[in-house]
């Protein structure tokens, strides 16, 4: 869809009476992810600040980790070198203390919130590990003998900071939909006083009953009813429908729409939360809030792993204290807590997400809601908007009817081309495009002007030419084949009639162009067992014509914006998982309500920011890529989670000393090695996502 913000000229030329009986546009009125442990991440400015904070902490910890790695007992033992100098222990202690308090602060803080809420998750599991590693290491530095965990502490915090930064970055683009909706309204309105004079006031100061003056090309500031004037109003930003709507006395107008070339005087009917846009904002906000309640599966796993590690560690401490004293008990408890630390679990999802984000970008997808994306493969119903989604939102010529022997298709199109080339109306652009594709010579036009609410008029080669709507053609006294007109209208076509030198010589039928790839995409989705439906504010005839052309499973027409979200809810109530694909402001509530909201990249800012996934290239074939990539991503996430948590099933009992009697003991060094290896396994598996994705695409 075009950016209507920049279209300040608005040469809509009051083109044809686009009520056109069959279209009835005047009747339409068409009208995230939250981890339990870090639900404060948020979006917008606060989210950006937190992401920058994680990034800064990561770099500081990375720098401090380098000397800790060089003098780490585990690494010296592993690589067979030895470093020993006066004050080495104090240096390790100093560096690790900064790492613990500075780098670990976000996790400790969120762990405190989890503790108070009584719902442990990833943050408490991380905090359990880093507190145990730090306290034990301090004890080995100053009070007891043993190998410290300073480097393990630093590496854990470093990896967790990286994982959370990756995750937050993937979420940062979501959540700006409400801001974009608010920007659709101008800040000022022109009020008409009793004496007929006007003055500017702030929109939020308007009251019901106030009279407002709307100039040509201006944004309509608030919901109102026209009492004087006539103009074609561009409501595409709100409705998604590209045809301007004729507004005359008693017609309702909506704040955020753009006036055409006429002057409108209107009475304010709705203010504040009652306005159309305010209702849309509320619908979007409510739907997004519902969706944000989803909890990461990694947090669910971490919750149970926390209890397992805590209980196992305490049992190990008590048991081994009774056998060999508290130092031995302490060593086994700390080993248990360290082996349970979620290096792998914490990175299992972010590593796969980072890889899938890269693959998504290559496939023309921008992921804004990770949880919704991961579950995309479960979708069993996909609902498409019509205009700008299944169709291009642009008009093309379907049929040229010649009614006079003086003309053929080419000569008729030539004179219409001459007149329509003077207009910026969507239908005019469709006719001009057709003429240009046929390389038809453009004739000179004189005395061009629009016939408000009726069509266009001009002189070509000394002959008067009028391009009229069906209604205006009848009013001018001309007759045409009404049955043929109705048949054309039933196919969703808009018809304009050509009057040449006071003689009706022909008609041209145009319609919104169905996207070339739409039929194949619909067929592919249906072959996967997915129902494909269409939801539109357009009339039933137009909707049915598109539905039949694409062999859709069902069509819902004449649906207002607030009703679109309700329709999605009803489909969800049937037990299905529903995806919505749309591009307009009127689609935003439905996009937010759906289990998966897919926004067309060329659509409105509001739609893009409400969607869970954006089709960057505006190619609906990418919907198939979403399903394939989601399935492959979920497979890798599950595999990583199984490994990240599964290895603990074996490692925790061993770290607790269950098989110590058989000589099998996981000391601090070996525990750290196993923990690190689990992370490597998850990283390698994440890199194999590309292969899995390509395999699904090929099938």
Report the catalytic residues: 385
**Tokens 């203390």 found at:** 97
3-state helix, strand, coil in the chain (%, to 5): 55, 15, 30
Rounded to whole angstroms, the Cα distance separating 585 from 604 reads 6
Rounded to whole angstroms, the Cα distance separating 104 from 134 reads 11
List, in sequence order, the alpha helices (H) in 491-621: 518-527, 540-550, 561-573, 588-593, 605-610
Rounded to whole angstroms, the Cα distance separating 270 from 247 reads 18
> 85-96 burial, b if ≥16 CB within 10 A, otherwise e?
eeeebeebbebb
Rounded to whole angstroms, the Cα distance separating 60 from 68 reads 13
Rounded to whole angstroms, the Cα distance separating 569 from 374 reads 21
Q: How many CB atoms lie within 10 A of CB 446?
A: 9
Structure tokens at 106: 């976000």
Torsion over CA of 573, 579, 580 and 581, rounded to 10 degrees? Answer: -170
Rounded to whole angstroms, the Cα distance separating 18 from 83 reads 85
Rounded to whole angstroms, the Cα distance separating 515 from 518 reads 5
Dmax (CA) for the chain in angstroms is 112
Torsion over CA of 215, 221, 225 and 229, rounded to 10 degrees? Answer: 0
Rounded to whole angstroms, the Cα distance separating 505 from 502 reads 9
500: Cα within 13 Å, side-chain hemisphere: 20
Is-contact 470 478, C-beta < 8 A?
no
Distance of CA 206 to the CA centre of its chain: 33
Is-contact 136 327, C-beta < 8 A?
no
Burial environment of residue 84 by CB neighbours within 10 A (0 to 12, 13 to 18, 19 or more): exposed
Rounded to whole angstroms, the Cα distance separating 366 from 594 reads 17
Nearest one of 413, 387, 411, 386 to 399, comparing CA atoms: 413
List residues bridging with 494 in a β-sheet.
510
Radius of gyration of the chain (CA): 33
292: Cα within 13 Å, side-chain hemisphere: 18
Nearest one of 535, 492, 397, 662 to 25, comparing CA atoms: 492
Rounded to whole angstroms, the Cα distance separating 256 from 695 reads 46
> 55-68 burial, b if ≥16 CB within 10 A, otherwise e?
eebbebbeebbeeb
Q: What sign does the dihedral 126-128-131-134 (CA atoms) show?
A: negative
Burial environment of residue 131 by CB neighbours within 10 A (0 to 12, 13 to 18, 19 or more): middle
Nearest one of 640, 696, 595, 599 to 375, comparing CA atoms: 595
Q: How many CB atoms lie within 10 A of CB 99?
A: 28
Nearest one of 456, 399, 493, 394 to 23, comparing CA atoms: 493
Rounded to whole angstroms, the Cα distance separating 364 from 622 reads 7
């Amino acid at each position: 869809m075009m950016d209507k913000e920049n279209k300040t000229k608005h040469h809509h030329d009051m083109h044809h009476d686009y009520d056109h009986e069959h279209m009835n546009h005047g009747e339409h009125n068409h009208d995230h992810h939250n981890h339990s442990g870090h639900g404060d991440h948020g979006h917008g400015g606060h989210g950006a600040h937190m992401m920058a904070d994680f990034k800064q902490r990561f770099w500081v910890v990375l720098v401090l980790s380098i000397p800790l790695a060089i003098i780490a007992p585990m690494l010296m033992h592993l690589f067979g070198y030895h470093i020993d100098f006066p004050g080495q222990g104090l240096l390790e202690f100093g560096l690790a203390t900064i790492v613990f308090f500075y780098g670990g602060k976000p996790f400790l803080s969120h762990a405190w919130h989890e503790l108070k809420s009584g719902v442990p998750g990833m943050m408490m599991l991380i905090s359990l590990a880093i507190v145990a590693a730090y306290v034990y290491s301090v004890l080995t530095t100053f009070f007891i003998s043993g190998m410290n965990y300073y480097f393990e502490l630093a590496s854990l915090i470093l990896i967790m900071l990286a994982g959370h930064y990756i995750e937050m970055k993937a979420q940062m683009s979501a959540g700006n939909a409400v801001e974009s909706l608010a920007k659709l309204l101008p800040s000022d309105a022109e009020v008409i006083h009793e004496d007929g004079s006007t003055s500017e006031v702030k929109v939020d100061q308007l009251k019901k009953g106030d009279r407002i003056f709307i100039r040509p090309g201006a944004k309509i500031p608030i919901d109102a009813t026209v009492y004087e004037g006539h103009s074609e109003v561009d409501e595409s930003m709100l409705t998604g429908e590209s045809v301007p709507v004729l507004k005359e006395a008693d017609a309702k107008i909506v704040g955020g729409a753009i006036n055409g070339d006429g002057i409108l005087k209107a009475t304010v009917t709705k203010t504040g939360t009652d306005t159309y846009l305010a209702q849309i904002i509320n619908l979007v906000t409510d739907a997004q809030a519902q969706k944000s309640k989803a909890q990461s599966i990694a947090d669910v796993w971490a919750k149970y792993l926390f209890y397992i590690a805590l209980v196992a560690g305490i049992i190990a401490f008590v048991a081994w204290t009774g056998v060999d004293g508290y130092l031995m008990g302490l060593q086994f408890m700390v080993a248990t807590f360290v082996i349970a630390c979620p290096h792998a679990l914490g990175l299992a999802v972010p590593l796969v997400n980072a890889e899938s984000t890269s693959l998504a970008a290559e496939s023309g997808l921008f992921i804004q809601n990770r949880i919704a994306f991961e579950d995309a493969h479960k979708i069993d119903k996909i609902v498409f908007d019509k205009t700008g989604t299944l169709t291009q939102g642009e008009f093309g010529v379907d049929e040229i009817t010649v009614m006079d022997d003086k003309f053929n298709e080419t000569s008729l199109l030539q004179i219409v081309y001459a007149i329509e080339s003077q207009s910026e109306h969507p239908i005019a652009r469709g006719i001009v495009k057709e003429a240009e594709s046929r390389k038809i010579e453009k004739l000179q036009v004189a005395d061009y002007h629009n016939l408000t609410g009726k069509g266009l008029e001009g002189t070509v080669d000394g002959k008067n030419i009028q391009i009229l709507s069906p209604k205006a053609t009848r009013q001018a006294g001309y007759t045409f084949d009404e049955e043929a007109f109705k048949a054309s209208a039933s196919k969703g076509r808009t018809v304009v009639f050509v009057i040449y030198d006071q003689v009706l010589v022909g008609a041209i039928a145009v319609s919104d162009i169905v996207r070339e790839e739409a039929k194949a995409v619909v067929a592919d989705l249906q072959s996967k067992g997915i129902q494909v439906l269409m939801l539109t504010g357009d009339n039933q005839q137009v909707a049915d014509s598109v539905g039949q052309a694409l062999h859709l499973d069902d069509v819902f027409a004449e649906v207002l914006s607030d009703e679109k979200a309700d329709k999605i809810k009803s489909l969800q109530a049937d037990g299905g998982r529903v995806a919505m694909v749309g591009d307009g402001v009127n689609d935003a509530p439905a996009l937010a309500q759906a289990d998966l909201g897919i926004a067309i990249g060329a659509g409105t800012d509001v739609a893009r920011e409400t969607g869970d996934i954006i089709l960057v290239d505006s190619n609906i074939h990418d919907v198939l890529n979403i399903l394939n990539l989601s399935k492959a991503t979920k497979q890798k996430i599950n595999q990583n989670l199984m490994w990240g948590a599964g290895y603990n099933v074996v490692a925790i009992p061993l770290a607790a000393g269950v098989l110590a009697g058989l000589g099998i003991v996981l000391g601090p060094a070996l525990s750290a090695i196993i923990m690190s290896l689990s992370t490597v396994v998850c990283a390698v598996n994440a890199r194999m996502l590309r292969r899995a994705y390509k395999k699904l695409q090929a099938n």
